[in-house]
Amino acid sequence: MANKFFSPKFIKLLVALAVCIALVFLNPRKIFDPVREIFVTVASPFQKTFYYVSEKTGNVFYLLSSISSLKSENEKLIQENGILVAQVAELIGEKKDNEDLRKQLQLLPQKDFQLESANVIAQDSQGLGSWIMMDRGSRSGIVVGMPVIVYEGILIGRVSEVYANSSRITLLTDSSSSVNATDLATGAKGILTGEYSLGITLDMVEQTEVLNVGDDIVTSGLGGGVPKGFLIGKVAQVKSSSDKLFQQALIIPKVKYADLNTVFAVKGSL
* 200, β-bridge pairs: 194, 251
Which pLDDT score, from 0 to 100, does residue 165 have?
Answer: 95
> Could you give the number of structural domains in the chain?
2
Q: How far apart are CA 160 and CA 227, in angstroms?
A: 17
Question: 42 and 125: one domain?
Answer: no
Which pLDDT score, from 0 to 100, does residue 208 have?
Answer: 92
Question: 155 and 245: one domain?
Answer: yes
Which pLDDT score, from 0 to 100, does residue 213 have?
Answer: 94
Any domain includes 40:
yes
Which pLDDT score, from 0 to 100, does residue 270 have?
Answer: 59
Q: Which of 20, 35, 58 is the last residue of a domain?
A: 58
What's 189's domain CATH number? Answer: 2.40.10.340
Q: What is the mean pLDDT of each run of 10 residues along the chain (270 residues)?
A: 59 68 56 55 55 55 65 72 62 54 53 86 77 94 94 91 95 92 94 82 94 93 88 92 89 89 85
Which pLDDT score, from 0 to 100, does residue 60 have?
Answer: 55
Question: 44 and 130: one domain?
Answer: no
Q: Which of 14, 32, 58 is the last residue of a domain?
A: 58
Which pLDDT score, from 0 to 100, does residue 105 have?
Answer: 47
pTM, two decimals, is: 0.61
Q: Are residues 199 and 250 in contact, defined by beta-carbon separation less than 8 angstroms?
A: yes
Any domain includes 33:
yes
Which contiguous run of DSSP H or E holds residue 184?
Answer: none
Any domain includes 93:
no
Q: How far apart are CA 147 and CA 230, in angstroms?
A: 10
Any domain includes 82:
no
Question: 263 and 192: one domain?
Answer: yes
Question: 261 and 153: one domain?
Answer: yes
Which pLDDT score, from 0 to 100, does residue 6 have?
Answer: 58
Any domain includes 241:
yes
Strands 154-162 and 189-194: unpaired
Q: Are residues 137 and 162 in contact, defined by beta-carbon separation less than 8 angstroms?
A: yes
Q: Which of 36, 58, 80 is the last residue of a domain?
A: 58
Which pLDDT score, from 0 to 100, does residue 107 have?
Answer: 47
Any domain includes 107:
no
Which pLDDT score, from 0 to 100, does residue 162 have?
Answer: 96
| Domain ranges, residue 155 | 113-269
Question: 51 and 150: one domain?
Answer: no
